[in-house]
Amino acid sequence: MSQHAVETFGIDDFPAVGKTPAFSVAPETPADIPAREALLDRAMGPKRRRKSSEKLRRGRLPAEGLAFVARAADGSLIGTVRLWNVRLGHGGSPALLLGPLSVEPSLKSMGVGKALMQHAIAEAGRLGHGAILLVGDAPYYARFGFSAEKTDRLAMPGPYEKERFLALELVDGALNGAQGVLEPAGRKISLAA
C-alpha cells in the first residue's frame, strides 16, 4: 500500500463490536496537527510532555511517511500514531520509536487503536525498517507482537519502567546485539519559515 493510501474500516472488520462506526486510517497532514494535539491532551494529559520518549521526539519530525491519523466518517480526527527515527545506542543501528498512540476516549475498544497499530507496523515494514520500539502497556502491545525480550540491553534516555520497554522486530535478528541508550536520529524541525 502506498504511504498516501487511505485504509477504510467498517463494521465488517470488527463484527464482534457490533456498532463500530466506519473510520479510516490515513497519513497525517499539517491540517491535522491542532486536532491531534487536542486529542493527546484529552487522552493523556499534560504529563505526556515529560515522558522519556519525548526526549527522542522533541525538535524532530516523525519518520518519513510514518505519521497516521484515524478519521471518523465525518472527517473528525479520532486517533493518532507516529513513528520516529532513533539509533540503538551511540552510533548504533537505526530503528523506530512508536508513540504516542491515542484514541478518542469516547471511542475506545472499537478497534481504532488496533487499526492504527496494524497500519503503522505494515507501513514501517514496507518502508524497510528493521525494528520498532516503544514504552507502553505490555498487555496491549503484546497482541501486535511486542515484548520486552529484546530490549534488555537497551535503555531509554530518562526514567521509564523496564517491563514497559518493548520491541518488535520487522526483520528477523534486527535487534540482535543491540545495546546502549536510544538516541534521536530524526530529521530536525527547521525553524526557518
Ligand X SMILES: CC(C)(COP(=O)(O)OP(=O)(O)OC[C@H]1O[C@@H](n2cnc3c(N)ncnc32)[C@H](O)[C@@H]1OP(=O)(O)O)[C@@H](O)C(=O)NCCC(=O)NCCS
Q: Which residue is nearest to ligand X (CB)?
A: 113
User: Which is closer to ligand X, CB of 50 or CB of 108?
Assistant: 108
Cell of 88: 540503538
- 48: helix, strand or coil: helix
CB of 105 to ligand X, least distance (A): 7
User: Which is closer to ligand X, CB of 7 or CB of 92?
Assistant: 7
CB of 108 to ligand X, least distance (A): 3
Alpha carbons 166 and 96: distance in angstroms, whole number: 12
CB of 102 to ligand X, least distance (A): 4
63 in Cβ contact with 81 (< 8 Å): no
CB of 137 to ligand X, least distance (A): 4
Residues found near ligand X in the complex (CB under 6 A): 43-44, 101-103, 108-114, 136-137, 139-140
Residue 69's DSSP bridge partners are 26, 80
User: Which is closer to ligand X, CB of 88 or CB of 112?
Assistant: 112
Hey, how many other C-beta atoms are within 10 angstroms of the C-beta on 117? 25
User: Which is closer to ligand X, CB of 40 or CB of 155?
Assistant: 40
Q: Which of 186, 175, 187, 188 is nearest to 88 (CA)?
A: 175
